[in-house]
Structure 1
Amino acid sequence: MKNKKTGDLAALASIPLIMTLGNSMLIPILPQIAKEIHISSLQVSFLITAYAVVAILLIPIAGYCSDKWGRKKVIIPSLIIAGIGGGVAGVASWIGDGASVYWIVLGGRVLQGIGAAGAFPIVLPLVGDMFDNDDEVSHSLGIIETSNTFGKVISPILGALLGAWAWYVPFLSIPILCVLSLLLVLFLVHEPKRKDSGQPLREFISSIKKVFKEKGRWLYAIFAIGGICMFLLFGVLFYLSDQLEKKHGLEGILKGLVLAIPLAALCLASYLTGKKIGKNKLLMKWCGVGGLVLATGSLFGISLFNNIYYVIACLILCGVGIGIVLPSSDALITEGIEKKLRGSITSIYSSMRFIGVSLGPPVISLLIGSGHIALFTAVGTVSLIGVILLLTLVKPEAGTGESGGKKQIVRKSAHQP
């Protein structure tokens, strides 16, 4: 990778890291927030749900705006809005009283969701814009995914540490983190010059319809796989967190450290996969298949025994599997779409991932009552569906890479990423 792009990539990698911290580090302190501002567990769960729902709705709009006006012109104000949202939630107890504190915090979370919609999802197409070499694109996307996952690794630990000071301190850290990322993006990211100002809305909608008509078969599969991976990840982490606290008495930083173990495995797998897949789309597909098979086998394996050490070992393997799938899917979708529509299509993909995040914990909470075997049989079946989708619907040609030192030239089909 060219040295002049190292600073750009480091600045862009700060965005998923900070956006992940801004949301995930609240999870270990939600019970504390509920207690401090006197709200129910259902009300406190809306602090996560509101953030995700707003992001899901606005991500496609942010993607269109980034295609029309430029990536940085969307990312910069989005970071500002996310920082303001964290600040509003952090000062809620100082400017509000009684029940109004909750509504101020919730309003701050909505602002954070608006900011998140135009931040991390726009990083993926910007990476695709910045690099012409497919090896550099896939390697860079692996770094972006690694940064995103690293945020998940440290968020339960950091959230518990800051929450030990006061419940609102994690919120107050968000503006500081956003300012740091904003400065990095302003001074280090050099967006390639745009050849046009984007398409009018009507023409844009027509182009999107054309893309889905020609490439919908594999795009829908990648969208579903992205959602499935996030559903699996957040679902099983919710399960592990619940079991560690209720059955094994682990709380606070110690629980955060245990939760970080499968996430650390995912982080390492994401980095290594992004580094190795290069420009070979067949390799991207088969890495994805292998990762999903590993995750599926691990989840079905958990249903056999309910020993905590065995469960954690299986979840580490599951984390490795998901870590292999994510950068492979990112690279397939980023390289399979032309640059002028890349922001919009990858934003829809990001929305699907947010849907998986939103569904994981509540679905698992409903399934816990059905028993250990039924729960992980159901979750393993969802993962198996992802394997089937990737095997049957995503069919890249061998000409996307090199074999035996000679570049292969083949015809691309309409369903080929």
Structure 2
Amino acid sequence: MESKKKRDLASIATIPLGMTLANSMLIPVIPMMQKVLGINSLQASLIITSYAVIAIFFIPVTGYLSDRIGRKKVILPGLLLVAAAGGLAGWAATFCDHPYRLILWSRLLQGLGAAACFPVVLPLVGDLFRNEDDVSNGLGIVETANTFGKVLSPVLGSALALWAWYIPFWAIPAISLISFILVAAWVKVPKESKQAMPFKPFVDSIKSIYRQKGRWIWAIYAAGGISMFVLFGTLFFLSETLEQKGIDGIGKGGLLAIPLAGLCTASWLVGKWIGQKKQLMKWIGVAGFLVAAACLLGLGLLKKDSTIVIIGFLFAASIGLGAALPCIDALLTEGIDKEQRGTVMSFYSSIRFLGVAAGPPFTAWIISRSPSVFYLTLCASCFAASLVAWFLIKPEQRSR
């Protein structure tokens, strides 16, 4: 990797880390919020889901703007909005008698800010490097930062909640402002040697990409969305299960972090290793989804209530997902020209956020009926992702 770009990449990596903490840090605190706010499980899940829902609709807008006016000009205001909305949520939780609705509104604003942050990171990494090995490695580091945020968030969220249940809301502005300072000071985006394409030709070029290569692009979109749906569904389920077993606080956060540690490690190792091997990326993705499907099938058929068994199977499933994610990221990023990369990647990020949004409420709805059906549904989802990757993703097909 180009040595001068390592500081840029480290600064960029703080963005997915911060955006993940802004959402996942609240998961272990959800049962406590239910009790304090007097809300049910579905209402509590909306505190997580609302963040993702608004992002789904605005990510394509921020992706387009990043192609037109530049990545940093979109990311930096987004980070400030995330910080301001986090402060609003913290204020409402601290000083209002009935803060639930205001917390939801602040989470919507946070999601709007997040729409301008992590989704723009992926194309930004593609812009920074000329060598595709460096791009793959960089995307692996970004995905690792994202998953490390998920590893850290249960422990950090649980630790902060020991002080007061609303302290995690106050932590979000501090984290976002650190990212803002680092990105503003250190990230140097390469200057374009040519002017931005006029609007109509730009739209025509996007239509042309989807017309010619839409089959494998939409396959990657589907695989990414399923990954997030399964991941956030299992996290919410594990959090609820541990709470029912009387496990809370930092101990609960540590147990939630175990499957995420597998996800993080697998993402980092695969991102560092795959380089320019496009066919290998595809088959690692297929294998990763099959591993996750097999683990979830095992949980569904065994019907075990043991904490050790559940965490062990989810740890193995998370390794599969962690191996698949940097591969599908790299296949999409490296297959799209820089001029259209932000827009095409934005739809990918929207669908990933759709998975994030759907996972917790689906889990809250189905586990009260049948945990086995929950596991088998997620198993079927992972198996479908493996089939999509196997038959529809064609690494040799590129938009260039």
Superposed pair shares fold, TM > 0.5: yes
SS of the residue aligned with 2:270?
Answer: helix
Q: Deviation string for 1:175-203 (max 9, x for gaps)?
A: 11111111110111110102344334433
Change (3 A) 1:291 1:124: same
The within-5 A match list for 1:162-201 is 162-201=160-199
CA distance in 1, matches of 2:136, 2:234: 27
CA distance in 2, matches of 1:146, 1:93: 31
The within-5 A match list for 1:7-406 is 7-93=7-93, 97-99=96-98, 101-246=99-244, 248-307=245-304, 308=306, 309-397=308-396
The Cα of 1:41 is off from its aligned counterpart by: 4.2
SS of the residue aligned with 1:303?
Answer: helix
Contact 2:46 2:361 in 1 (8 A): no
Q: Deviation string for 1:74-93 (max 9, x for gaps)?
A: 01111011101101111125
Contact 1:60 1:347 in 2 (8 A): yes
CA distance in 2, matches of 1:193, 1:332: 24
Higher relative contact order (CA 8 A, sep 6+): 2
Change (3 A) 1:3 1:213: same
What residue is the counterpart of 1:401 in the other structure?
Answer: none
The Cα of 1:160 is off from its aligned counterpart by: 1.2
Change (3 A) 1:40 1:293: closer
The Cα of 1:36 is off from its aligned counterpart by: 3.4
CA distance in 2, matches of 1:51, 1:197: 35
Contact 1:37 1:98 in 2 (8 A): no
Contact 1:238 1:361 in 2 (8 A): yes
Percent identity, aligned pairs only, is 49
Contact 2:31 2:240 in 1 (8 A): no
> Given residue 341 of structure 2, which amino acid in structure 1 is its aligned partner?
R
Change (3 A) 1:301 1:43: closer
Q: Matched residue pairs, number?
A: 398
Change (3 A) 1:330 1:337: same
> Given residue 319 of structure 1, which amino acid in structure 2 is its aligned partner?
S
The Cα of 1:228 is off from its aligned counterpart by: 0.6
CA distance in 2, matches of 1:259, 1:166: 20
The Cα of 1:171 is off from its aligned counterpart by: 1.2
The Cα of 1:40 is off from its aligned counterpart by: 4.6
The Cα of 1:72 is off from its aligned counterpart by: 0.5
The Cα of 1:254 is off from its aligned counterpart by: 1.1
Q: Deviation string for 1:357-414 (max 9, x for gaps)?
A: 11112222333244343332222111111111111111223xxxxxxxxxxxxxxx57
In structure 1, stretches of 5+ residues that fail to align are 398-412
Contact 1:58 1:114 in 2 (8 A): yes
CA distance in 1, matches of 2:295, 2:46: 31
Contact 1:145 1:327 in 2 (8 A): yes
CA distance in 2, matches of 1:48, 1:379: 19
Change (3 A) 1:362 1:104: closer
The Cα of 1:237 is off from its aligned counterpart by: 1.8
> Given residue 333 of structure 1, which amino acid in structure 2 is its aligned partner?
L
> Given residue 340 of structure 2, which amino acid in structure 1 is its aligned partner?
L
> Given residue 166 of structure 1, which amino acid in structure 2 is its aligned partner?
A
Contact 1:218 1:393 in 2 (8 A): yes
CA distance in 2, matches of 1:23, 1:168: 13
The Cα of 1:278 is off from its aligned counterpart by: 0.2
Change (3 A) 1:40 1:180: same
Contact 1:68 1:197 in 2 (8 A): no
Change (3 A) 1:43 1:21: same
The Cα of 1:204 is off from its aligned counterpart by: 2.8
Contact 2:78 2:113 in 1 (8 A): yes
CA distance in 2, matches of 1:243, 1:107: 28
Contact 2:225 2:355 in 1 (8 A): yes
> Given residue 22 of structure 1, which amino acid in structure 2 is its aligned partner?
A
Contact 1:218 1:394 in 2 (8 A): yes
SS of the residue aligned with 2:28?
Answer: helix
SS of the residue aligned with 1:395?
Answer: coil
Larger Rg: 1
Deviates more, 1:162-171 or 1:334-343: 162-171
In structure 2, stretches of 5+ residues that fail to align are none
Contact 2:64 2:342 in 1 (8 A): yes
Change (3 A) 1:39 1:384: closer
What residue is the counterpart of 1:402 in the other structure?
Answer: none
The Cα of 1:34 is off from its aligned counterpart by: 3.8
